[in-house]
Structure 1
Amino acid sequence: MEGPVHFCIAAANAEVVKEFEPLVKTLVLHAKRTDIVLHILTGNGSNNEIEKILNTIPDIPVKFKYELFPLNTEKILNETLKIHLKITHHSGIWGMSKLYMYEIFDNVDKCIVLDTDIVFGTDPAFLWDLFMDQEDQQMISMRITNDMTKSYMSNSGLMLQDFSRMRQMTFSKFYFAAVEWLCSKVAVCSDQEVLFSLFKNNGSYLFRTLPVSWNLELCHDFFGFSFETYTDSQGRFFGGAHFNCAGAENKALELFSERDSSSNLRDYVKYLINVQMQDVCSVM
């Protein structure tokens, strides 16, 4: 798929910015085929810290651009109050902002919407190519299962969102219609519960399931995969690892030590935390 790869990310506080730096390092390390553009929602004074990180990016084979945009948290809060959606997940308004990226970045046609606690193991251009797998009306590709009993029924930490299609098909009408059903089913509510309820009501009409290898959740069984061969312990291709249960990456290192003392992912993360941005490409 031609053109730059666009990423949309919410980064609001010191802990999130701490996670953001290893993510950017993996983009610097692996982006080889197409240019990278970051669209970053900021708040709580995060602008300066984010710019410090981005301004140390070395020369790499592709162009690396970014824009910082302050999130209007009051607008999103008012929207959720209007539809009686009570956000009970710890990510709060910032997590819910992933449902509004298509409106906020209205000059962007498609975007990979990311949490900050993701690291890539290969060129994200391969993920961008998966937009071509979406059918004509599908808006979102993400990790999802049709079983409400599973804790990992959906994961919005990494999504392909077709912003143009979401605007054209009026995404908000699907979103609002799903809220009443959702509130009667779950105790903890966030953007991914909203997305799961949309999936339950609309299925593959709006959604495409993203291959598990692009969002390997550290909540589950991915501690033992081999970085060198880009596969996890079950032979699946390593696209992105998600520290959704471990917290910040340095906390994950402790878990790796307990779960798998020889984990190549642990060594990779340790490298990402310790290496200086300007040295990323020269060391690996």
Structure 2
Amino acid sequence: MHLLCRGHLKLLVVSLTAIVLLTGLYLLTGNLENDRSLLLKSCLTDTPAVEVFERAVFESRVRELEEENSQIRLQLSQSQGTTAQLAEGNYGNQQWGASADTVPEDGDIIAEEKDNHTDCPRTSTVQKCELIHVACVCAGHNASRDVVTLVKSILFHRRNPLHFHFITDTVANRILSSLFQSWMVPSVQVSFYDADELKSEVSWIPNKHYSGIYGLLKLTLTKALPFDLSKVIVLDTDITFATDIAELWGIFKRFTDKQVIGLVENQSDWYLGNLWKNHKPWPALGRGFNTGVILLYLKRLRRISWEQMWRLTAERELMSMLSTSLADQDIFNAFIKQNPVLVHQLPCFWNVQLSDHTRSEQCYTEVSDLKVIHWNSPKKLRVKNKHVEFFRNLYLTFLEYDGNLLRRELFGCSSQSSPEGVQLQAGLEELDEDDLCYDFRRERLTVHRVHLYFLQYEYTTTEDDTDITLVAQLSMDRLQMLEAICKHWEGPISLALYMSDAEAQQFLRYAQASEILKKRKNVGYHIVYKEGQFYPVNLVRNIALKNANTPYVFLTDVDFLPMYGLYNYLRKSVVQLDMAHTKKALVVPAFETLRYRLSFPKSKAELLSMLDMGTLYTFRYHVWQKGHAPTNYAKWRTSTTPYKVEWEPDFEPYVVVRRNCPEYDQRFVGFGWNKVSHIMELDAEVRLHALGCLADNDLSPPPPLIW
């Protein structure tokens, strides 16, 4: 059928071209005759009757040719409609004789015309400001990071309000809820659904795919999503959009009254069963379908008892297949094989599947035709494809794109701001732009995007309840300190990194290439994205502080190296000083060196020797002695037991305190007084008498900090 229509189309094009050429020659000949008669008119006498007769014959022939051309153009447009529909592969309409009638449902506007031979749907349009629903299953730290690139690509092109539905585990819920709350994108709603409550629906299915149980949860969406939600676009996290998602949403209007699922044909040979000897895939219709992009008509799926139907399909096939190889995709395909009338095949450019074993290059002629790129190979950017450089650049564009630029209002649609957004706008309107401190006051109202746990994080609670997290903040220029800190501090670490989107990706590559950082899973990296002209140092500190998971925190700066063994030493001190029942802050003495290379002291005696030789100095000795003078270094040199110190103005030591200590004052931005204000408030809370200072003798561990 497809080949016949294509041949007929070529014949019509050739015929039309020939007729147009003949018409042009005929008209040219006529013009030459007319010109010749005009030239000879002064020399010869023409009979008026003959002249009228020739003109009448000529006009009649031109009308005939125009009618023929019109008929050919009509046939050509009908053939093109048929070919386009066959290319789309609308299985429910063509191959199994389903009704071609499209029934209006849920307020859909149907734009479709038919004749006796073919259905020629017009381009389906989405109503202005119509809400588009998108669902994703997202679990873990890596998937939470990947889904941000997907969301950026959608937001970049979109012109409609969006509602994202995320089925998440606890980790992804914490990360994405914080991200979207701080992102504050207008006309974007976000809902979360607990994946743990859905696991029992699919846990009985053995699955060999690397996605594990989460790769099966798309089967449960009719149950997971709100019952009044009629339609949803379901996406994998490794998807990148190159067009407005509204175009994909509009395809729902092309569904026949029986179609419930929209999918793109699988572009690999997996379901053909010829990849290797004894390869036995699950049953599928032809090449099968890929479930990276799905249009789910939820209302109709519930009407046909989808949950019961896919369960029966899975139970039947598992009797012989024993497990799934491609998670939900195997079950979707087995179901479609039994119920082909229910599927609406999407054009392949809605899910161009990039891996080393796909036919994706046959899906398009120009990369400008593509709508959705699916990085469905673990190799991702290293796939073999002649256009891989284009795909890589598209992906990297959104990977490093400044997410702050996506906070734009939708033109012509009423803004759906959160209460926080309304409050922020009211605060901005109250500011006086003529105020000399306007920039600082505006900075106080700036909401920075925050991506918690940017890398994999694992922490196990200790039994003795004395654990301590090192808390610090940094920017790109301090990245080289991370490996050294991890060598000196074996306990948990909470780091807030103030970076742009592009810098965050540079950090990711740095961390993934470092053998030291890759081994450490108890380090929480939290990205605070750059915005505004000031460094919000105390805001960044608070992000690191609030995301520490231990009872105690060691508040320090990233360019200090703790002494070896300080982690265990401080935990013992917490017990000895009974910090669980009294309010105390342990002051950790700080030192600095002016040398780039230094042999780290192994004992207090060695450190005292370096102080005497001028290799080391007490911190800020040359520029700001008041900042650490209350530590009383003279007393520390001879002390063998902890001693109390009194707070003084400008004191800014590095301390160990309980995690629920006061937060830093975020009104302080840039350089100066940010730690001073925090120590002042901390001292007020512990009421002066609780500040203690660690002291050691020669036989104890060496002093803790060197800058």
TM-score (norm. length: structure 2): 0.34
C-alpha displacement of 1:216: 0.6
* Counterpart in the other structure of 1:112: 233
| 1:252 matched to 2:389 | no
Q: Residues 51 and 172 (structure 1 numbering): CA distance in 2 closer, same or farther, change over 3 Å?
A: closer
Among residues 70, 87, 90, which one is paired with 2:210 in the alignment? 90
* Counterpart in the other structure of 2:369: 237
- What amino acid sits opposite 1:71 in the alignment? A
CA-based RMSD: 2.9
| Superimposed CA distance per residue, residues 134-186 of structure 1 (whole angstroms, 9 cap, x where no aligned partner) | 11121111123698316863211110001111111111232123124433257
- What amino acid sits opposite 1:175 in the alignment? W
- What amino acid sits opposite 2:339 in the alignment? N
Q: Write the distance in 2 (CA, Å) between the matches of 1:89 and 1:182.
A: 17
* Counterpart in the other structure of 1:143: 264
| 1:12 matched to 2:139 | yes
Q: Out of 17-26 and 232-241, give the one that drifted further.
A: 232-241
Q: Write the distance in 1 (CA, Å) between the matches of 2:194 and 2:166.
A: 8
Q: Write the distance in 2 (CA, Å) between the matches of 1:277 and 1:26.
A: 10
* Counterpart in the other structure of 2:587: none
- What amino acid sits opposite 2:214 in the alignment? W
* Counterpart in the other structure of 1:228: none
Q: Write the distance in 2 (CA, Å) between the matches of 1:98 and 1:200.
A: 18
| Superimposed CA distance per residue, residues 241-271 of structure 1 (whole angstroms, 9 cap, x where no aligned partner) | 01111x3xxx634x16x75587222112112
C-alpha displacement of 1:78: 4.9
SS at match of 1:188: coil
Q: Write the distance in 2 (CA, Å) between the matches of 1:141 and 1:37.
A: 19
C-alpha displacement of 1:279: 3.2
| 1:194 matched to 2:331 | yes
Among residues 126, 131, 136, which one is paired with 2:252 in the alignment? 131
* Counterpart in the other structure of 2:351: 215
Q: Write the distance in 2 (CA, Å) between the matches of 1:35 and 1:177.
A: 37
On the 8 A contact 1:141/1:160 being kept in 2, the answer is yes
C-alpha displacement of 1:274: 1.6
| 1:77 matched to 2:194 | no
Aligned pairs (5 A) from 1:262-277: 263-277=389-403
Q: Write the distance in 2 (CA, Å) between the matches of 1:262 and 1:252.
A: 10
| Superimposed CA distance per residue, residues 190-234 of structure 1 (whole angstroms, 9 cap, x where no aligned partner) | 11100100111111x211112111111012355x79xxxxx9545
Q: Write the distance in 2 (CA, Å) between the matches of 1:241 and 1:52.
A: 27
Identity of aligned residues (%): 22
| Superimposed CA distance per residue, residues 64-97 of structure 1 (whole angstroms, 9 cap, x where no aligned partner) | 1111222135x4335552xxx3222222221211
Among residues 283, 296, 299, which one is paired with 1:161 in the alignment? 296
| 1:45 matched to 2:171 | yes
Q: Residues 232 and 58 (structure 1 numbering): CA distance in 2 closer, same or farther, change over 3 Å?
A: farther
- What amino acid sits opposite 1:252 in the alignment? K
SS at match of 1:89: coil
SS at match of 2:370: coil
- What amino acid sits opposite 1:216 in the alignment? V
SS at match of 2:170: coil
TM-score (norm. length: structure 1): 0.81
Q: Residues 145 and 244 (structure 1 numbering): CA distance in 2 closer, same or farther, change over 3 Å?
A: closer
SS at match of 1:7: strand
Q: Residues 27 and 236 (structure 1 numbering): CA distance in 2 closer, same or farther, change over 3 Å?
A: closer
On the 8 A contact 1:58/1:278 being kept in 2, the answer is no
Among residues 148, 172, 175, which one is paired with 2:307 in the alignment? 172
C-alpha displacement of 1:122: 0.4
Q: Residues 78 and 25 (structure 1 numbering): CA distance in 2 closer, same or farther, change over 3 Å?
A: closer
C-alpha displacement of 1:59: 5.4
Segments of structure 2 that go 5 or more residues without pairing to the other structure are: 1-125, 276-286, 409-707
- What amino acid sits opposite 1:90 in the alignment? Y
- What amino acid sits opposite 1:192 in the alignment? Q
Higher relative contact order (CA closer than 8 Å, sequence separation 6+): 1
* Counterpart in the other structure of 2:528: none
Q: Write the distance in 2 (CA, Å) between the matches of 1:180 and 1:68.
A: 29
- What amino acid sits opposite 1:140 in the alignment? I
| Superimposed CA distance per residue, residues 118-145 of structure 1 (whole angstroms, 9 cap, x where no aligned partner) | 0100000000001011111211111236
Q: Write the distance in 1 (CA, Å) between the matches of 2:385 and 2:339.
A: 39
Q: Residues 174 and 57 (structure 1 numbering): CA distance in 2 closer, same or farther, change over 3 Å?
A: same
On the 8 A contact 1:27/1:123 being kept in 2, the answer is yes
Computing the radius of gyration over CA atoms, which structure comes out larger, 1 or 2? Answer: 2
- What amino acid sits opposite 2:237 in the alignment? T
Q: Write the distance in 1 (CA, Å) between the matches of 2:195 and 2:324.
A: 26
Q: Residues 240 and 169 (structure 1 numbering): CA distance in 2 closer, same or farther, change over 3 Å?
A: same
Q: Write the distance in 2 (CA, Å) between the matches of 1:234 and 1:136.
A: 33
Q: Residues 169 and 262 (structure 1 numbering): CA distance in 2 closer, same or farther, change over 3 Å?
A: closer
SS at match of 2:272: coil
Q: Write the distance in 1 (CA, Å) between the matches of 2:385 and 2:326.
A: 30
SS at match of 2:191: strand
Q: Write the distance in 2 (CA, Å) between the matches of 1:237 and 1:178.
A: 36
Q: Write the distance in 1 (CA, Å) between the matches of 2:324 and 2:175.
A: 35
- What amino acid sits opposite 1:13 in the alignment? G
Name the count of aligned residue pairs: 262
